[in-house]
Amino acid sequence: MYLINSKIKIYKNFDINIIIFNNYLKSIYNNKKIKIKIINKNKYLYIYIKNINNKYINIKLLLNFYYFNIVTFLNKYIIKLKIDKKINLLLIEKYNLYGYNLLFNYNIIKLIVKRKSYIKYLKNINKEISLMNKIYIYQKESRIDIYDINIKNLNSNNFIFIKNYSNNCINNIYGIYILNKYQFLKNKIIYFNKFNNCKNNQKFISILNDYTKVILKGIININKNTRNNISYQNYKNYILSNNVYINIKPYLNIYSNNIKCTHGVNMGKIDNNIIYYLLSRGLNILKSKLLYYYSILYENIKDKNILYLIKNKIKKKIKECLIVKK
């Protein structure tokens, strides 16, 4: 236990630190504008963040998962997060791995978001772990941006379920997947809408190399008698190797007439004209390819705070992909 405690870090720039490992769930917070109610049972954590002033406040929350090879073969955590009105929340998942990565981990995160809140959720798997992740989102007149980033995961299986409970909901899902070697990714996203004036934007960009296997499925459900809903679903895939396996299924189940909806999948290699243009400006092949890939990925992350957090990791991973190829 002492060994584990010595490795746990508390990040002071976050208002709420939630540390999760083995049978232990710990939460630390230091913001006077909010009130937090916590129920902590065995591998189950319920957190209710309450806004006291009824004014808009900014909060940073860190979900810090610790995995040690001494624990049993299955880790399962359930986290329920309830967020009050007028809260701008930056929610970040962080994974820390010590020891072997053969463990199978299972997380369930439930997000309940009240009116006029804005949640930025960074789901960044940058450790070599096998993970099954389920996220359920229930929102009312709020905005949620999910940044789903898979860089180092060994075997990850994600499921995101979004359900609106009122009009004027906005939710965006931006996926970035840079995979090589034998990485496996399975993603399923279900968007369920019964109300009016809602926006849903799903954009996924993947760069795949070696023997990676990717299965992506996105379902957009829009009910009868709804009006002015907008939904976009787009998958862009850049393939660097002939051994890559991709299976993508975009679905639209629309039962309403008054709606704007598009879905599409692009697959292929990089645009040689752009590479030639960059080469003709004196950049070498590696640098021009890197610049091109960064530009593709940064197109998907328009939030500067999020970009700052993951920029270097993405750069490292793309370099790794390209240099091995060379």
Is the Cβ of residue 71 or residue 283 nearer to other proteins in the bound state? 283
Q: Give the binding range for other proteins (CB under 8 A) out of 103-111, 112-120, 186-194, 282-290.
A: 282-290
Closest by alpha carbon to 235, among 192, 278, 175? Answer: 175
Q: DSSP state, 15?
A: S
Q: Which of 53, 258, 295, 305 binds other proteins (CB under 8 A)?
A: 295
Asked whether position 277 contacts other proteins by CB under 8 A, the answer is yes
DSSP-assigned letters across all residues of 256-323: -SSEEEEEEEEEE---HHHHHHHHTTT--HHHHHHHHHHHHHHTT---HHHHHHHHHHHHHHHHHHHH
Please report whether residue 284 would count as binding other proteins according to CB under 8 A.
Answer: yes
Q: Quick one: 168 or 300, whose CB is closer to other proteins? A: 300
The DSSP H or E segment spanning 178 is: strand 170-179
282 binds other proteins (CB under 8 A): yes
Q: How far is the CB of 233 from other proteins (least distance, A)?
A: 19
Segment near other proteins (CB under 8 A), from 48-56, 219-227, 256-264, 279-287? 279-287
- The helix/strand/coil state of 99 is coil
288 binds other proteins (CB under 8 A): yes
Q: Answer yes or no whether residue 299 interacts with other proteins by CB under 8 A.
A: yes
The binder of other proteins chosen from 281, 304, 312, 326 (CB under 8 A): 281
Distance CA 270, CA 239 (A): 8
**At a CB cut-off of 8 Å and minimum separation 6, what does 290 contact?**
315, 318, 319, 322
The letter for the amino acid at 296 is: I
Q: Among residues 56, 245, 276, 308, which is the contact residue for other proteins, using CB under 8 A?
A: 276
The CA distance from 28 to 119, in Å, is 20
| Shortest distance (Å) from residue 277 CB to other proteins | 5
16 closest CA partner among 31, 37, 33, 38: 31
* Count of positions on this chain that bind other proteins (CB under 8 A): 22
Is residue 264 at the binding interface for other proteins, with CB under 8 A as the rule? no
Binding other proteins (rule: CB under 8 A), the pick from 132, 248, 291, 309 is 291
Q: What is the DSSP letter of 129?
A: -
Q: Which of 172, 226, 174 lies closest to 199 in space, CA to CA?
A: 172
Residue number, 224 or 282, with CB nearest to other proteins:
282
Figure out which of the listed residues 6, 72, 257, 272 binds other proteins, where binding follows CB under 8 A: 272
> What residues line the site for other proteins (CB under 8 A)?
272-274, 276-277, 279-285, 287-288, 291-292, 294-299
